[in-house]
């Protein structure tokens, strides 16, 4: 009987831990526009990026939607570390197989350095197109407040 109670206590602890892990996720979001590009672009396009970070595993998942781009996408991803007035390197490729449908969705486990870029809000989303190979739409990821859902 004592063994059964011990086993139940362990199982109860595991279910609480799993629930806490999801509650501990950090959400980021931003609205993609041409206004955030480092060089001027003139795009009628818009979009939305939502990123979820699982603290325990450093796994990020993303959902990026867009519409109204001038030309075909050639690259899209997370870039960092962002410095004012400069472009950064890509550290998450939204579509390694180069199939850019809307929405773009996926996941990746971050390195410690990549985690630091994201958690210190030094990350931006960039969508590059044939017409604007430096980027047509861009946005700076912002951390959402706890219990705030992406709009």
Read off the DSSP letter of residue 74: E
Range in 10-24, 103-117, 137-151 the model is least confident about: 10-24
26-32/46-54 β-pairing? antiparallel
Q: Percent of the chain having pLDDT more than 70?
A: 81
Locate the DSSP E strands across 33-133: 46-54, 59-67, 73-80, 89-93, 104-109, 124-129
> Is there a cis peptide before residue 36, judged by omega within 30 degrees of 0?
no
* Torsion sign across C-alpha atoms 72, 59, 53, 37: negative
Closest CA to 130 of 76, 85, 70: 70
Q: With 70 as the cut, is the pLDDT of residue 5 above it?
A: no
pLDDT of residue 55: 92
Range in 59-63, 108-112, 146-150 the model is least confident about: 146-150
Q: With 90 as the cut, is the pLDDT of residue 28 above it?
A: yes
pLDDT digits (tens, 9 = 90+) for 10-23: 333 433 333 344 67
Closest CA to 134 of 90, 83, 84: 90
**pLDDT interval class at 49 (50, 70, 90):** very high
Report which of residues 45 and 147 the model is more confident about. 45
pLDDT of residue 15: 35
Q: For 101-111, what is the mean pLDDT?
A: 97
Q: Which strand ranges, in their side-by-side order, compose the sheet holding 124-129?
A: 89-93, 73-80, 124-129, 137-140
**pLDDT interval class at 37 (50, 70, 90):** confident
Rg (CA), the chain: 19
Chain centroid to CA 139: how far?
11
59-67/46-54 β-pairing? antiparallel
Q: For 52-78, what is the mean pLDDT?
A: 97
Q: With 0.85 as the threshold, say if the pTM is over it.
A: no
């Amino acid at each position: 009987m004592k063994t059964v109670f011990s086993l139940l206590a362990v199982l109860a602890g595991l279910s609480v831990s799993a629930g806490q892990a999801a509650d501990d996720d950090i959400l980021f979001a931003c609205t993609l526009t041409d206004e955030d590009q480092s060089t001027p672009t003139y795009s009628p396009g818009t979009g939305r990026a939502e990123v979820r970070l699982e603290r325990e595993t450093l796994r990020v998942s993303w959902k990026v939607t867009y519409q109204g781009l001038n030309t075909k996408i050639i690259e899209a991803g997370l870039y960092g570390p962002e410095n004012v007035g400069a472009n950064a390197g890509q550290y998450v490729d939204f579509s390694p197989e180069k199939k850019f449908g809307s929405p773009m969705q996926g996941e990746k486990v971050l390195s410690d350095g990549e985690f630091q870029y994201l958690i210190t809000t030094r990350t931006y989303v960039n969508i590059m197109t044939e017409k604007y190979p430096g980027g047509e739409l861009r946005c700076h990821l912002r951390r959402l407040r706890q219990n705030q859902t992406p709009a």
